[in-house]
Structure 1
Amino acid sequence: MRKKLFIIFFILVCIAALLLPFFSKYEKPTSDKDIVSHGLPPVPTLKPRTEIPNFDEFNDVREKKREFFRYLLPIIEAENLRILHERQQLFAIENAYSRGFENEQDKSQLARLVDYYEVDPTLDNEQQFEILKRRVDIIPTMMVLVQAANESAWGTSRFAQEGLNLFGQWCYREGCGLVPSQRPEGMNHEVAKFDHVAQSVRSYMRNINTHEPYLELRQIREVMRDREEQVRAIPLLSGLHSYSERGQDYIDELKAMIRVNRPIVEAIMEQENSATPEAAVSSN
């Protein structure tokens, strides 16, 4: 009797083993390939632009603006697309951690994001993810364009032409940039000098996404994300009070520039069909 029961039990175990794969859900580990396959195109490799054209050569103001925007758009969109890939990677890592799947590759990628976006590495993972989700995000195309135009006098300023610095960014190491001709006595800052224009754009975006004075801007953007709204330029401008000594006047001027120049930018995007999925809808 016992022998028969054992045989029956053995048969049932074998049948269960054969059927198990059909009822079990396989959890595939996250890889780089999985992270970048969420409907986003690959980040384009652009030829480094080491010179800024002389936009003063254009006598027609509208043509001058159009050429300035056309020059910068591919660089801005490529950088925003790169950030979107990082953002998806961040969510993939957080999801893996929440399910208890931690691997060395994810740990390395998380450490890289923590370092680049200047998050305190001593915080626990949950706190790091909370801060990173606020920081690893796009800057609306229209906001970047009008700030570049405003800060660089449409690409014609000395700092733009000689240092490829379109956003008036400072540095504090001797020889790191160009010394302002009217630098106050006792000040040691220089206007940063870049090797190519994309480097200037990336530095500006990192500045906005990490520095404490722009926390309000990031919080506004976070609320938009929570509400599943488009990340729009004009609401974010309210978080730029610290960008210029002019404060609210500076913000009002940028808003006016967006209202005036948005049709030009949208026409270029439509004509060239160059906008990335989210950078395009975030140009308002």
Structure 2
Amino acid sequence: MTRVLMHFKILIVGLFVLKSFGSGLPDYYYKMKSGERQKREFIKIMLPLIKKSNHLIVVERQFVKKFFDEAIKTGFRDLPSKNLSKLLRLSRKYRIKNLFDRRQYLKRIDVVPVSLALAQASVESGWGKSRFVREANNIFGHWTYTGVGLIPAGREEGKTHRIRIFASLQRSVNAYMLNLNRNLAYQSFRDKRLKYRQEHKDFNGIAAAKTMLMYSQLREKYIKILVGLIRDENLLYYDAYKPAALMDSA
């Protein structure tokens, strides 16, 4: 297969995904003028997506805790194959090398502060109005090197990264949280989150934002932008709700 034909097929796949699932925020949103009303609407759209992603993480965390509680009681003997298979899938998903490393599961399978997710969604997507959101459901600026994706405007010569295409906004949020929970670049985020949990302290968006040094080439400036946005838009308000399932120490 020639390289031209291969890239043509990749392009068709990307277009099929977008055509099948649609992309971007609701049409009415793009007709809104920038301002406080538009920001509030963006938050209203993003909140259920962020909460759903966190809920899925909570379900996975509960499974891990139950699995190890039961395994310890039986001395890790006669473990149900169904549960072992699920644990194996989670170990691969979160890149956990030791299948029975309970501490690593609970360190990585944990929720992301809602205010942090809202702030990063706002910054990375220009309050949802960026080309990446409109054309690829990509809220958090995720890159890909698979060849399937949008070519960023102004990409430097010799660079091969593209903007990843998601089938839905929800999948973009899911990928963002998985990225923070398993990527080596965000180890300090996970370390700090675990430390706060062990000390029974509230790991809010500002505390989390201060670990996002590697998320952007802006580095320290990026952290200041996030912290400023969280404060200016009163986003800490959305960190108030904590599911009972998370009231534990890892």
Paired residue for 2:53, among 52, 61, 79? 79
- 1-structure distance, mates of 2:32, 2:163: 27
SS at match of 2:163: strand
Paired residue for 1:143, among 116, 134, 145? 116
Paired residue for 1:203, among 165, 175, 194? 175
Paired residue for 1:168, among 124, 138, 141? 141
SS at match of 1:241: helix
Q: Which aligned pairs between 1:1-284 and structure 2 lie closer than 5 A? A: 50-53=23-26, 55-59=29-33, 61-99=35-73, 100-101=75-76, 102-120=79-97, 123=98, 125=100, 128-174=101-147, 176-262=148-234, 266=237, 277=243
Deviation at 1:220, TM superposition (A): 0.3
8 A Cα contact 1:147 1:254, kept in partner: yes
- 2-structure distance, mates of 1:221, 1:198: 23
8 A Cα contact 1:80 1:279, kept in partner: no
Letter in 1 for 2:123: N
Letter in 2 for 1:223: K
Deviation at 1:53, TM superposition (A): 3.1
Letter in 2 for 1:158: R
Distance 1:155 1:89, change over 3 A: same
8 A Cα contact 1:77 1:279, kept in partner: no
- 1-structure distance, mates of 2:99, 2:138: 36
- 2-structure distance, mates of 1:160, 1:63: 19
- 1-structure distance, mates of 2:157, 2:228: 34
- 1-structure distance, mates of 2:60, 2:24: 28
- 2-structure distance, mates of 1:277, 1:124: 27
- 2-structure distance, mates of 1:246, 1:76: 24
Deviation at 1:278, TM superposition (A): 6.5
Letter in 1 for 2:160: N
Distance 1:220 1:49, change over 3 A: farther
- 1-structure distance, mates of 2:114, 2:234: 10
Cα deviation 1:138-182 (Å, max 9, x = unaligned): 0011100110010000111111110110100000011x1100121
8 A Cα contact 2:136 2:164, kept in partner: yes
Cα deviation 1:68-92 (Å, max 9, x = unaligned): 0001101110110110111111111
Deviation at 1:232, TM superposition (A): 1.2
Deviation at 1:227, TM superposition (A): 1.4
Alignment-derived partner of residue 39 in structure 1: none
Cα deviation 1:200-229 (Å, max 9, x = unaligned): 000111001000010000000001111122
TM-score by length of structure 2 reads 0.82
Which protein shows a greater Rg? Answer: 1
> Identity over aligned residues, as a percent?
30
- 2-structure distance, mates of 1:138, 1:224: 13
Deviation at 1:60, TM superposition (A): 5.8
Distance 1:225 1:266, change over 3 A: closer
TM-score by length of structure 1 reads 0.73
Letter in 2 for 1:138: V
Cα deviation 1:105-137 (Å, max 9, x = unaligned): 2211211110111112xx262xx2221111000
- 2-structure distance, mates of 1:276, 1:172: 36
Count, aligned residues: 223
8 A Cα contact 1:49 1:197, kept in partner: no
Structure 1 residues not aligned, in runs of 5+: 1-47
- 1-structure distance, mates of 2:229, 2:171: 24
- 2-structure distance, mates of 1:239, 1:135: 15
Structure 2 residues not aligned, in runs of 5+: 1-20
